[in-house]
Amino acid sequence: CHILAFAKGRGSVYLIGLIREIRPPNMDEIQHHHDESDKAFANGGWGSASSEARNFLVAMLRGLREAATTRGNVAPYKQPGKDGPLIEDFKTIGLFTDAEKDAVMHVWVLLSHAGPHVGIKEEDSARLSRLLAIGITEWIALKFIGWEKNGFKPF
């Protein structure tokens, strides 16, 4: 199954390649969190796999925001280190609509939940966290590419 292959760390070559095309300044950090999530999942470190999947998403968001400032003449982000406001900021600068910002925020909140999810086995939770992080990261990357082609102007 293609989706299961992604969750187990195979098949994400496309996504990493897509992010590399964007050239975020923190690509090494993004790659690190991606690889750590893969390793943790392969070794049964369910909590670490989930945490690193979230860190992968957040690192990518930070890199895209910095790329928007350096390449798109978008005003710098004023609250470094704060991830919730960072997601809000993508709406302010024109990458996300209100609904898109809300969707990304909801995924981020779900991925930020520490501890077990009642009724879901840890392994399943780790797999699903990775799927959510990978899916939303790909969606954001594709959206960013289109936004950059549009001159960093709202659609």
pTM over 0.85: yes
Q: Which residues are within 8 A (CB) of 23 and not within 5 positions of it... i.e. 6 or more apart? A: 67
Alpha-carbon distance 108 to 110, whole Å? 5
**For residues 70-93, average pLDDT:** 90
pLDDT at 2 exceeding the cut of 60? no
- By the 8 A CB rule, do 63 and 93 touch? no
Chain-wide mean pLDDT for the chain?
90
pLDDT at 11: 56
- By the 8 A CB rule, do 148 and 24 touch? no
pLDDT at 71 exceeding the cut of 70? yes
Q: Which residues are within 8 A (CB) of 16 and not within 5 positions of it... i.e. 6 or more apart? A: 31, 34
**For residues 32-56, average pLDDT:** 95
**For residues 108-122, average pLDDT:** 84
**For residues 92-112, average pLDDT:** 95
pLDDT at 67: 96
